[in-house]
Structure 1
Amino acid sequence: MRGNDGFFEGSMRVKKTRMLTEGAMLAAVFGVMLLVALHVPVIRIIVLVFLPLPFILFCAKYSLRSILVFCLVCLLVSAIMGTVMAIPMAVFFVCIGFVMGYAIQRKKSKLFIYIATSLTFLAITIIGLFATLKFFHLNIIAENLKIMQQSIEQSKALVNSLGESQAYEDRFAQMADAASQMYSVYLPSLLLLSAFIAVFVLISVNFPIAKRFGVPVPSFQPFREMRLPGNILWYFILAMVANLLMHGDTGSFFAKAVLNLMLIFQILILLQGYAFISFVSHEKKWPKGLLAFAVILSIIFSPLLYLVMIFGIMDLGFDFRRMIQK
């Protein structure tokens, strides 16, 4: 019995030593990568993409208590090695990497990890915007809108200096003002879409690398098998009805909320339409590049996007897939 106890204690010490060694190495790697991201602008974007990797590797293996200690150590390392700007950036990627790695350890699906990480990304971004406004009295959104409006005014002045016709100048001014208004109205949707796109890039880059280090990362199901909840179709119809009742109003909070919901539901239904095209292509044994061709063609000829949305609505509202399989 004593021999077995001694073997067990020795094994535990080896595991603990290995965890401490691996944690120290990953914390050091994170600190160096953070320094490079802060002080080497040429490769900043590339390095930022890999910052969640140390947390994915550690959080996918060890206990929650060890993970929390590791995250605190990484924050301490970033505070010592970096500047004041290093701490917010470190907090951001600590949270992103923690959600990814711990969800892998809990054997969650890749879709769950993607959605959870995207919402975390969005929440931290919003908190950061509010913190910047509260403590530094800097409204980043208002500043971006101001810069955009200044660029529009400069573009208008350039058009005037080129001696274009008055009709062209008026049309350009209308387009520029519409773009500025769209930015202010659809900002929530832009933040949401930016979060999902950024996290998709992070997952696409870091998961294959983590897999090479022995982390059991999950895989997405084939795109053709994507089926959104049917309730989305009813929510989309309600949003359309609310939009019709607004009579062109875009200034109120309710109007902006409806317009953003409309945009999000349209994107979801569009994705469902592409998934339906992929499903039909697979069932009919059509060329594999058909989906890519359909996406490119619908982007070039934008009216085709409405046809793809009709496919998405049909897929959500009716069971055409079973009919096609028969």
Structure 2
Amino acid sequence: MNDTKRITEGALMTGVYLLLLLVIIFMPIWLGPVLLFTLPIPFIFYSYRHGWKAGALMFIAALLFTLLFGPVFSMFTLLAGIGGVFLGGALYNKQSSLEAWAFGSVGFSIGAAGIYLASQLLFGVNWGEQISTSLNDAFTRTNNMLPGMLGGENTEASLEALRETVEFLPDIIPSILVMTGIVFAFISQWLTYKVINRVDKKQFRFPPFKEFKLPTAVLWYYFFALVLTYIPTNEEGLLYLGSINVYTLAGSLLVLQGFSFIFYYAEVKKWSKAIPVVIVVICLLLPQILLYLVRILGIIDIGFSLRERIKGKK
């Protein structure tokens, strides 16, 4: 009976996934990317109910269907399926929301890396060259526009910063893939919680953002990678690429930690809930300076147990 139910639900969830994929394909180009976050829901939901082994079989079935009817669309299945099985399997094993998010982030990162490699091997798409070409075109257009908007030293400084960004972005493609996995996991998990709470009458939810805290190991990864970036190496070598990606990824996570501390401090001080939100928006609008300060705040929060000190004083 259980096997029959598992097979029936697997076929149903595979059908739901393929239906969602068709909807996204025929949706307007501006709406399709938004609905991409719904694709992992069938995989997460089925793996949550029956475990990662059953979820893996569903993923294989969905992958075979998409390979038969459109090899290009199998890229979506790689991302949604691998990430969904990882995340759903974590929920099946009663992991906490943050632990499930971590597992899901790993799965979606693997899926994104699979898309990156498959597109290069099967379709000959060189993402590094594509990104460089697109950014160089954007840089040329901006170079023509800025002299009319700014003048003198401001123009040169802005163009130099933009030029450095153009040259730097292809080097951090691995970090971009991981950050994509983290964002995909969070949004898909949040949407799946809505489905599970409605269907199974559960109370799944993420803990408040003010309780978010990274392990101390992230801090050591950040400092170790920071030291390596100052060692003169070949900019196309593995040491440089590895250190710069770890530094970028760990630095982004520390910014998230800093924002979390701002929400925590606002709660302790009984500030209005709007104040930390406004601070985050201002920091994102002025990232060159303020995000570095938020990162330092995140480092202090982890390294010096800032929250525990505030609790002690309170």
TM bucket (normalised to shorter chain) is: 0.7 to 0.9
Match among 177, 192, 197 for residue 206 of structure 1: 192
Shift of 1:119: 1.8
Looking at structure 2, the residues matched to 270 and 163 of structure 1 have their Cα atoms a distance apart, in angstroms, of 32
Number of equivalenced pairs? 310
Match among 25, 36, 44 for residue 12 of structure 2: 25
C-alpha change, 1:89 and 1:322, in structure 2 (3 Å) is closer
Match among 45, 54, 57 for residue 57 of structure 1: 45
What aligned pairs does 1:138-157 form with structure 2 within 5 A after superposition?
A: 138-156=125-143
| Residue 259 (structure 2) aligns with | 274
Task: Confirm or deny that 1:318 pairs with 2:304.
Answer: yes
| Residue 8 (structure 1) aligns with | none
Shift of 1:171: 5.1
| Residue 102 (structure 2) aligns with | 115
The residue identity in structure 1 corresponding to 2:267 is H
The residue identity in structure 2 corresponding to 1:122 is S
CA contact (8 A) 1:78 1:87 kept: yes
C-alpha change, 1:153 and 1:30, in structure 2 (3 Å) is same
Task: In structure 1, list runs of 5 or more residues that go unmatched.
Answer: 1-11
Task: Confirm or deny that 1:137 pairs with 2:124.
Answer: yes
Shift of 1:107: 0.9
Give secondary structure in 1 for the equivalent of 2:302. helix
Give secondary structure in 2 for the equivalent of 1:85. helix
What aligned pairs does 1:281-296 form with structure 2 within 5 A after superposition?
A: 281-296=266-281
Looking at structure 1, the residues matched to 286 and 67 of structure 2 have their Cα atoms a distance apart, in angstroms, of 51
What aligned pairs does 1:61-210 form with structure 2 within 5 A after superposition?
A: 61-62=49-50, 66-79=54-67, 82-156=69-143, 173-210=159-196
Shift of 1:180: 1.0
C-alpha change, 1:26 and 1:281, in structure 2 (3 Å) is same
Match among 242, 248, 265 for residue 228 of structure 2: 242
Give secondary structure in 1 for the equivalent of 2:9. helix
Shift of 1:181: 0.9
Looking at structure 2, the residues matched to 77 and 238 of structure 1 have their Cα atoms a distance apart, in angstroms, of 45
The residue identity in structure 2 corresponding to 1:87 is S
| Residue 283 (structure 2) aligns with | 298
Looking at structure 2, the residues matched to 138 and 131 of structure 1 have their Cα atoms a distance apart, in angstroms, of 9
Looking at structure 2, the residues matched to 83 and 231 of structure 1 have their Cα atoms a distance apart, in angstroms, of 42
CA contact (8 A) 1:53 1:210 kept: no
Looking at structure 2, the residues matched to 293 and 70 of structure 1 have their Cα atoms a distance apart, in angstroms, of 43
Task: Tell me which moved more, 316-325 or 300-309.
Answer: 300-309
After the TM superposition, list the runs of 4 or more consecutive aligned residues in structure 1 that deviate by more than 6 angstroms: 162-169
C-alpha change, 1:177 and 1:98, in structure 2 (3 Å) is same
Give secondary structure in 1 for the equivalent of 2:71. coil
The residue identity in structure 2 corresponding to 1:265 is A
CA contact (8 A) 2:24 2:35 kept: yes
Looking at structure 1, the residues matched to 8 and 167 of structure 2 have their Cα atoms a distance apart, in angstroms, of 53
Give secondary structure in 2 for the equivalent of 1:107. coil
Give secondary structure in 2 for the equivalent of 1:220. coil
Task: Tell me which moved more, 115-124 or 313-322.
Answer: 313-322
CA contact (8 A) 2:197 2:204 kept: no
Looking at structure 1, the residues matched to 195 and 282 of structure 2 have their Cα atoms a distance apart, in angstroms, of 33
Task: In structure 2, list runs of 5 or more residues that go unmatched.
Answer: none
TM-score by length of 2: 0.82
CA contact (8 A) 1:189 1:263 kept: yes
Looking at structure 1, the residues matched to 14 and 303 of structure 2 have their Cα atoms a distance apart, in angstroms, of 50
CA contact (8 A) 1:118 1:195 kept: yes
Looking at structure 2, the residues matched to 223 and 270 of structure 1 have their Cα atoms a distance apart, in angstroms, of 13
* Identity score, percent: 23
CA contact (8 A) 2:197 2:203 kept: yes
CA contact (8 A) 2:83 2:111 kept: no
Looking at structure 2, the residues matched to 289 and 52 of structure 1 have their Cα atoms a distance apart, in angstroms, of 32
